[in-house]
């Protein structure tokens, strides 16, 4: 099975909940031990076999320019820029126009999840999935919705946020088959999670693969502070 070697990084969000800790930067560019948080995401994906990136940018997109130019050759990345916020789904759809492969990894630039990318890709290919999610097992959580699978890994339901003693959450990393996603008639602005994954669960082949790697989401100041302690250059 062919590996997936391209990734879309969603890095256009406003980061309003993190504004008190990092007032002047896009959330993904928040410094963690001397380098932007997104650098940890990029380096990990490169170590997992990703060699071309499409960065879906919006808010303060120029703040990424110098950093990206310092770590990539021109042929190693592309910029997909929103002129106005399109939601996560609109951002992915716009970025897909610059993807060169049939399948692509989609990752949130404000979440660092040490998922096994090629295991995810292989599972995605074997299941002939439209989209395969890397899932993280958590205990005692209420901040995230949960994902319910059948015995083959087919997603049965995206459950709303509630307190659970244990469950699987969407880890913010996806293997996406580009063509079926691009044929859906979405509105211009839409959510990848709500308007694609949740809405089309019954109609599309969405799978989940539980992974046990390190996970952190810097969306709130407390977890941003935690990243300073746990991530080293």
Give the residues of the chain that fall short of pLDDT 50.
Answer: 17-20
pLDDT tens figures, 165-204 = 999 999 999 999 999 999 999 999 999 999 999 999 999 9
Q: What angle do CA 42, 223, 19 make, to 5 degrees?
A: 85
**DSSP per-residue codes, 119-159:** HHHHHHHHTT-SEEEEEEEEEEE-SS-EEEE-TTSBEEEEE
Give CA–CA dist 182/202, Å, rounded.
18
**Domain span holding position 216:** 6-230
Is the pTM higher than 0.75? The answer reads yes
Report pLDDT for 24.
65
Total count of domains within the chain: 1
Report pLDDT for 19.
46
Residue 61 lies in a domain: yes
What CATH number does the domain containing 206 carry?
3.90.550.10
Report pLDDT for 16.
53
Residue 220 lies in a domain: yes
Report pLDDT for 103.
98
Residue 1 lies in a domain: no
């Amino acid at each position: 099975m062919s590996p997936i070697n391209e990734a879309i990084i969603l890095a256009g969000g406003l980061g309003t909940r993190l504004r008190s800790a990092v007032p002047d930067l896009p959330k993904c560019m928040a410094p963690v031990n001397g380098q932007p948080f997104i650098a940890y995401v990029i380096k990990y994906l490169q170590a997992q076999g990703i060699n071309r990136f499409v960065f879906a940018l919006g808010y303060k997109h120029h703040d990424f320019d110098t950093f990206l130019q310092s770590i990539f050759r021109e042929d190693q990345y592309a910029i997909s820029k929103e002129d106005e916020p399109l939601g996560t789904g609109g951002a992915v759809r716009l970025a897909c126009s610059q993807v060169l492969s049939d399948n692509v990894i989609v990752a949130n630039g404000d979440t660092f999840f040490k998922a096994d990318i090629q295991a995810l890709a292989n599972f995605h290919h074997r299941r002939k999935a439209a989209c395969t999610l890397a899932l993280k097992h958590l205990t005692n959580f209420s901040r995230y919705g949960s994902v319910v699978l059948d015995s083959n890994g087919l997603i049965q339901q995206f459950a709303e946020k509630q307190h659970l003693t244990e469950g699987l959450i969407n880890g913010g990393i996806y293997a996406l088959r580009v063509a079926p996603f691009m044929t859906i008639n979405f509105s211009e602005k839409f959510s990848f999670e709500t308007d694609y994954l949740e809405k089309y669960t019954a109609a599309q082949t969405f799978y989940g693969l539980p992974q046990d790697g390190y996970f952190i989401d810097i969306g709130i100041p407390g977890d941003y502070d935690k990243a300073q302690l746990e991530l080293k250059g």
